[in-house]
Amino acid sequence: MYDSMIAMQMQEAAGQLNEGKEINWAERPLTGVFDTSDGALVLVGAFKQNPLRDICQVLNIDDLSEQYPDLAAQQQAKPYLQSRFKAEFAKESTAFWIERLEAADLLCSPVRTLAETLEDTQTKLNGMIETIQHPLNGTMRLVSSPVHFAGIGRVVRRPPPLLGEHNEEILGELAETP
């Protein structure tokens, strides 16, 4: 899992390894979580020739990239840009904005609550929720392992332990350790 997390940050790692610069997407002026009229969305304004222009087009506001043409100018104006985006995104629903942002090829996603995520069809298709029997609590639903191997089923091997349930087993193992 450790190696997977490093690999998931290959772009950030390349910047660090080759330029000695850390990329923190959350600090970028065109990136943020914005409330909508019925929820929230996350926007990463990057990976485009002129993402600020594209964001302005989606929001149907004047092209602010003429006033803030590069990353340095946009970083200086981050509080203004973020407040402007916030005001605009609040006017419509998450679905409305996601459709428009995706049409402009801007990286975005709805922000879901944990409850929404756990009930999502993909969570169910991935088999990420398992039902087990607990000796005191009865039927429990738990999150399964995210590691998938072909032909090998995932299963929660045992329910959460009771207080002190494994004390003797653990203490016995510790006593045997040199």
Amino acid 70: pLDDT: 95
Assigned token pair, 158: 């045992």
CATH 3.30.1490.480 fits 9-111, yes or no: no
Q: Closest by alpha carbon to 123, among 144, 151, 152?
A: 144
User: CATH 3.30.1540.10 residue ranges in the chain?
Assistant: 9-111
Assigned token pair, 37: 């009229």
CB 29 within 8 A of CB 77: yes
- Report pLDDT digits (tens) over 9-37: 888 888 899 988 888 888 899 999 999 99
Average pLDDT score over the chain: 91
- Report pLDDT digits (tens) over 131-161: 988 888 899 998 888 887 788 776 777 788 8
CA angle centred on 104, ends 103 and 106, rounded to 5° = 110
Where would I find the H helices in 31-166? Answer: 51-59, 71-76, 78-89, 94-103, 114-119, 121-125
- pTM of the predicted model, to two decimals? 0.72
- Report pLDDT digits (tens) over 62-86: 999 999 999 999 999 999 999 999 9
Assigned token pair, 104: 């402009």
Per-residue CA distances from 68 to 24, 48, 170 (Å)? 20, 15, 61
Percent of the chain with pLDDT over 70: 98
Q: What is the DSSP letter of 160?
A: P
Assign 93 a pLDDT band (cuts: 50, 70, 90).
Answer: very high
Amino acid 21: pLDDT: 84
